[in-house]
Structures are given as C-alpha cells and as structure tokens.
C-alpha cells in the first residue's frame, strides 16, 4: 500500500511510503497544477493542461512516461507503458476512487484525512512511479478545488 502523508499544513509537500518504507517525496508546484518527485534516482515532473482535465508525467529527459485524461470527471483514465488503466470516483460525497479492470474494482485510492489531505492507495499491478503519478494527480486536483473554493 502506498501512503502520502502531508508534511505541513502550510506547504503542499508529502512524504510517500510503500508498506511503511519511505520511497519518495512529492513537492507540489506553486504556480502550476502538478508537482515533482524523485524515485530510484530518476526525476519526474507532473503537469496539467490549462483546464486541469489532462495531466502528464515526464522523466528527467522530458519524455512522457504517463498521462491522465478526463481527471475531473467521474470516469477517467491513465495511460502508461502502452496500457490504459480505468479509474472511477465512487461517489460525489466520498473522497474515494477505484481502479477498474473490465469494469470490476481491483484497486482503491482514499483520502484518509480531510483535514491533512493524506491519501492511501492500493493499486495492484501498477508500477510504483505510476502509482505516485496517480496520487500526485489527485493531490493536484484537490489543491485546485481548494484554491477555487477560496477565491
């Protein structure tokens, strides 16, 4: 299980743990929706389009590693490594997303605390970098929603 724990209420930075072991650090972007992280010595950057409906993850050389589409919708997808992964928001009232395979839930992402913004994900079959990308996208979407509500 992958967990994202917010470091501070004042900055959007998260420590990322897999099965209790630190694996990476998510640093949200200040001016653009997205963020960055380093995993196994490789740098990754996550950015959205102007509407926040599409996200892409690039590696240190600028090559696109993964992309997410229709992120603000009930059903959305992630494409990585030639595969498409389907996700679905379970309810407008709950902070939970499901990963689907042929329409059947096989994984879940939950916001464990509305106050801190902590998340946990159980996404079997996804490489760790793609799991972090999915969590990062959901962190960015939550931050954009909070900023819009405050405006």
Radius of gyration of the chain (CA): 14
* Domain around 120: 2-150
Query: Cβ distance 127 to 37 under 8 Å?
Result: no
Higher-confidence residue of 8 and 44: namely 44
Length of the chain: 151
- 28-85 per-position pLDDT tens digit: 876 677 899 999 999 999 999 987 789 999 999 999 999 999 988 899 999 999 999 9
What CATH number should be reported for the domain holding residue 112? 3.20.90.10
The total of structural domains in the chain comes to 1
Q: What is the pTM (predicted TM-score) of this model? A: 0.90
- 92-132 per-position pLDDT tens digit: 777 799 999 999 999 999 988 776 778 999 999 999 999 99
How far, in Å, CA of 56 to CA of 47, rounded? Answer: 6
At 103, is the secondary structure helix, strand, or coil? coil
For residues 59, 148, 99, 42, the Cα torsion angle rounded to the nearest 10 degrees is 20
């Amino acid at each position: 299980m992958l967990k994202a724990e917010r470091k501070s209420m004042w900055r959007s930075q998260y420590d990322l743990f897999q099965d209790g072991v630190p694996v990476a650090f998510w640093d949200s972007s200040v001016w653009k929706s997205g963020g960055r992280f380093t995993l196994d010595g490789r740098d990754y950057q996550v950015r959205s389009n102007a509407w926040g409906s599409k996200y892409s993850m690039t590696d240190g050389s600028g090559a696109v590693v993964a992309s997410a589409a229709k992120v603000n919708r009930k059903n959305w997808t992630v494409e990585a490594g030639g595969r498409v992964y389907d996700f679905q928001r379970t309810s407008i009232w709950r902070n939970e997303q499901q990963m689907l395979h042929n329409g059947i839930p096989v994984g879940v992402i939950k916001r464990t605390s509305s106050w801190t913004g902590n998340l946990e994900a159980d996404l079997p079959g996804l490489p760790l970098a793609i799991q972090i990308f999915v969590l990062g996208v959901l962190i960015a979407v939550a931050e954009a929603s909070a900023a819009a509500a405050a405006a």
